[in-house]
């Protein structure tokens, strides 16, 4: 997984190179975002994993058989039919698409174009695919009943509503496909990795004022409300949903008029109607030209598109983050692939270190922790409770989930120039280097070497100040 700081730099560079004519480059944007997520999700095994607990009701510990939402799955399914475009997107994020043999007609993901398409209401056509598991959205009662009567195992999964519930969604789907132990952990880890990227976007957006917004599906009272996951995405993109207190996807025009949002997002084809409707003439968003069309799938799907949705909202709402001049003669994705690849390559240099580990790598880790002021005790290359505590404090100060485990992402951030001390500041010499515009790849060998060399003085001071061991 790309750490928060590295991910933030990549996404910030992306925003800086993105111009106002982004519609021209939508296909390229989708490719880049997919790549960013592939890097983030592909490295998810390095994150600290949760154990099966009360987060997911009905998921039992162990591989197979596993019980999810009252449905027992006896063995790893190898022929999965997915009758929900959002769940198909979740499976793509989990990297389990090879288990799929069919999808519903509404699934438009390019990566799944080679799969058989079936109607959710056509139980006979679905049966011909001989699925050992069919995934449906909660509420698809008719299709579910018909398939169950035909002897097909059907799992209904409810869409997520917020960050915690997002982990529940991914844990349930992953457990069903990969088992209740490893699958659960992979699901939670993937969900966490997606939100790390959302956290990075959120840190980029301006915080000096509240920006209100809404998403309208139509002008007849349908919108994104607070009980929908899209409202959570909006908040991470830096805007406040004016319908956050409502439920059920419905609103009264009077409430929209009172809220008078700064920005209006809407389904394609609706912008022209809004601008021509006299009721909207005095709205801030209309007067200031802040009405933008977004595909409804971006607001509804809960897989890899979540990051793209946040990006689109952020880029449209905060044009001050963009530099149009930089795009006059180039594609906005021009350097993203190399940046992402460099970040991934840097992290590949490290192995996960945790309590019980020992050796030169642990000692280098402790030296860098001492240099940054986290470790004041004697160190000897043994990863004990004290070292784990120091790692946790470093992770917290640098916006990384505090696990106490020095995974590759954590080490990449630790050895990077500009790594933050507990007070939120880098070392003076590294702050100067950053101000001079030096570029540092996370976890670069030179960073690690300089850290080790410059830490000798800190080490000597630490040894003289305490006789206790970091292995404690």
For the segment 392-403, the average pLDDT, to the nearest whole number, is 89
Report the alpha-carbon distance of residue 295 to residue 269 in Å, rounded: 10
Q: Select from 160, 322, 163, 319 the least CA-distant residue to 235.
A: 163
What integer pLDDT is reported at residue 401 of this predicted model? 84
- Measured CA to CA, the distance from residue 253 to residue 261 in angstroms comes to 12
Give the pairing type, strands 240-241 and 291-293: unpaired
CB 156 within 8 A of CB 144: yes
Share of the chain above pLDDT 70, in %: 72
- Separation in Å, CA 341 to CA 200, 248, 331: 18, 42, 18
**Ordered structural domains, the chain, with CATH:** 1-50+196-205+328-348 (no CATH), 66-180 (3.40.50.1980), 209-295 (3.40.50.1980), 350-465 (1.10.101.10)
> Residue 336 pLDDT more than 60?
no
Nearest to 307 by CA among 81, 39, 23: 39
Asked whether residue 390 carries a pLDDT value surpassing 60, the answer given is yes
How do residues 439-465 score in pLDDT, each as one tens digit?
333 334 444 444 444 444 444 444 444
Asked which of 14-23, 57-66, 147-156, 453-462 is least confident by mean pLDDT, the reply is: 14-23
Question: Torsion over CA of 26, 233, 243 and 294, rounded to 10 degrees?
Answer: 10
CA 206 to CA 383: how far, in whole Å?
40
Angle at which helices 229-236 and 163-178 pack, to 10 degrees?
120
Return the beta strands (E) in 124-257 as ranges. 133-137, 154-157, 212-216, 240-241
Distance of CA 194 to the CA centre of its chain: 1
Choice between 208 and 437, residue whose per-residue pLDDT is larger: 208
CA atoms within 13 A on the CB side of 143: 23
**Which segment of 204-208, 245-249, 375-379, 448-452 scores lowest on mean pLDDT?**
448-452
Residue-wise DSSP of 319-384: GGG--GGGGTTS-TTTTHHHHHHHHHHHHTT---B-TT-BSHHHHHHHHHHHHTTS--SB--SB--
The pLDDT of 465-470, averaged and rounded, is 43
CA gap 84, 173 in Å, rounded: 12
Per-residue confidence (pLDDT) for residue 456, from 0 to 100: 42
Compute the Cα dihedral for 30, 36, 39, 45 and give only its sign.
negative
Name the 3-class secondary structure at 82.
Answer: strand
CA distances in angstroms from 321 to 87, 200, 214, listed in the order given? 32, 14, 21
Strand order in the sheet with 240-241: 240-241, 212-216, 263-266, 291-293
Q: What is the pTM (predicted TM-score) of this model?
A: 0.64
Q: What's the mean per-residue pLDDT of the chain? A: 80
| pLDDT (tens digit per residue) in 253-311 | 999 999 999 999 999 999 999 999 999 999 999 999 999 999 999 999 999 899 999 99
- Residue 310 near residue 236, CB atoms below 8 Å: yes
Closest CA to 354 of 344, 365, 346: 365
Q: Name the 3-class secondary structure at 211.
A: coil
Rounded mean pLDDT of 349-364? 92
Does residue 129 contact residue 114 with C-beta atoms inside 8 Å? no
Q: Is the pLDDT of residue 48 over 70?
A: no
């Amino acid at each position: 997984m790309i750490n928060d700081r590295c991910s933030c730099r990549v996404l910030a560079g992306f925003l800086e190179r993105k111009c106002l004519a982004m519609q021209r480059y939508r296909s390229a944007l989708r490719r880049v975002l997919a790549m960013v997520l592939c890097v983030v999700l592909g490295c998810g095994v390095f994150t600290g994993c949760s154990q099966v607990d009360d987060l997911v009701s009905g998921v039992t510990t162990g591989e197979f058989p596993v019980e999810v939402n009252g449905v027992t799955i006896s063995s790893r399914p190898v022929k999965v039919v997915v009758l929900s475009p959002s769940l198909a997107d979740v499976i793509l994020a989990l990297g389990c698409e090879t288990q799929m043999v069919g999808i519903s007609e509404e699934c438009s993901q390019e990566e799944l174009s080679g799969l058989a398409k079936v109607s959710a209401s056509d139980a006979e056509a679905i049966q011909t695919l001989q699925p050992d598991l069919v995934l449906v959205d909660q509420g698809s009662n008719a299709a579910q009943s018909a398939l169950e009567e035909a002897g097909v195992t059907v799992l209904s999964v409810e869409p997520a509503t917020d960050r915690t519930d997002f982990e529940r969604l991914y844990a349930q789907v992953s457990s069903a496909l990969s088992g209740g132990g490893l699958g659960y952990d992979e699901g939670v880890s993937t969900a966490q990795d997606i939100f790390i990227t959302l956290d990075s976007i959120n840190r980029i957006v301006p915080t000096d004022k509240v920006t209100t917004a809404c998403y309208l599906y139509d002008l007849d009272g349908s919108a994104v409300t607070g009980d929908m996951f899209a409202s959570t995405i909006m908040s991470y993109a830096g805007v406040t949903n004016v319908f956050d207190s409502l439920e059920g996807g419905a609103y009264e025009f009077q409430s929209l008029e009172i809220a008078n949002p700064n920005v209006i997002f809407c389904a394609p084809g609706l912008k022209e109607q809004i601008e021509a409707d006299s009721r909207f003439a005095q709205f801030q968003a209309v007067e200031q030209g802040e009405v933008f069309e977004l595909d409804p799938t971006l607001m509804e799907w809960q897989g890899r598109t979540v990051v793209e949705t946040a990006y689109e909202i952020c880029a449209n709402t905060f044009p001050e983050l963009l530099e149009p001049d930089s795009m006059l003669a180039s594609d906005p994705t021009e350097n993203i692939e190399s940046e992402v690849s460099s970040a991934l390559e840097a992290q590949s240099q490290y192995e996960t270190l945790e309590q019980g580990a020992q050796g030169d790598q642990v000692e280098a880790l402790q030296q860098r922790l001492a240099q940054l002021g986290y470790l004041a005790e004697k160190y000897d290359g043994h990863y004990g409770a004290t070292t784990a505590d120091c790692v946790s404090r470093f992770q917290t100060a640098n916006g990384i989930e505090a696990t106490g485990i020095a995974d590759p992402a954590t080490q990449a951030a630790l050895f990077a120039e500009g790594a933050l001390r507990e007070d939120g500041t880098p070392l003076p010499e590294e702050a100067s280097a950053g101000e001079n515009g030096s570029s540092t790849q996370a976890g670069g060998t030179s960073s690690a070497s300089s850290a080790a060399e410059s830490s000798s003085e800190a080490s000597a001071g630490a040894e003289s100040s305490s006789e206790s061991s970091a292995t404690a």
